[in-house]
Amino acid sequence: MVSSGKPPKPAYARPIEVGLRSFHIVSMGLVLGGIAMGGTYETLRVPIYATISSGMLLLLACMNWGCFNFSQGAGYALLLKLALLGLGNLFEGARLPLYMAATVVTSIGSHMTSAWRHFSFTGRREADVRGTRPA
């Protein structure tokens, strides 16, 4: 195994990521379902803030533990998701389909193969993730 020079991911990292991701999915589901049922910003304020804060904490955790990079496939999926959410904020009439599209993009980004998730568009190759690629 090739060393990347980075310390190993701490044992507690995975449970924290799973917990944050689960909380993020539940709160996002409340927002998406609330919008589908005619909810307003005022009625959805708590799940909106829960979604934003859990998403930011999840991103910070992944960046801190070295398992996320904006120049890789997962980073581009996240940027596309954020763009769709931003457009949904601007165009209220299209909010539900744009938020649904953002959900599809993020689901694909989270579940695509490691080779795609860590593909570096700047280097045009799969990135060396924590030195786990064979030499």
Render pLDDT for 25-63 as a digit per residue (tens, 0 to 9).
999 999 999 999 999 999 999 999 999 999 999 989 888
Look up the domain containing 19 and give its range: 11-68
Same domain, 81 and 56: no
**Does residue 105 sit within a domain?**
yes
The total number of structural domains in the chain stands at 2
Q: DSSP states of 41-93 as a string?
A: HHHHHHHHHHHHHHHHHHHHHHHHTT---TTBHHHHHHHHHHHHHHHHHH-GG
Could you tell me if residue 1 is inside a domain? Answer: no
Whether 126 contacts 118, CB under 8 Å = yes
Instruction: Measure the CA–CA gap between 134 and 112, rounded to whole angstroms.
Output: 20
Token pair recorded at residue 97: 């389909």
The answer as to whether 57 is a domain residue is yes
Same domain, 76 and 126: yes
| pTM score of the predicted model | 0.77
Could you tell me which residue, 127 or 134, shows the higher pLDDT? 127
Token pair of 88, please? 């949904």
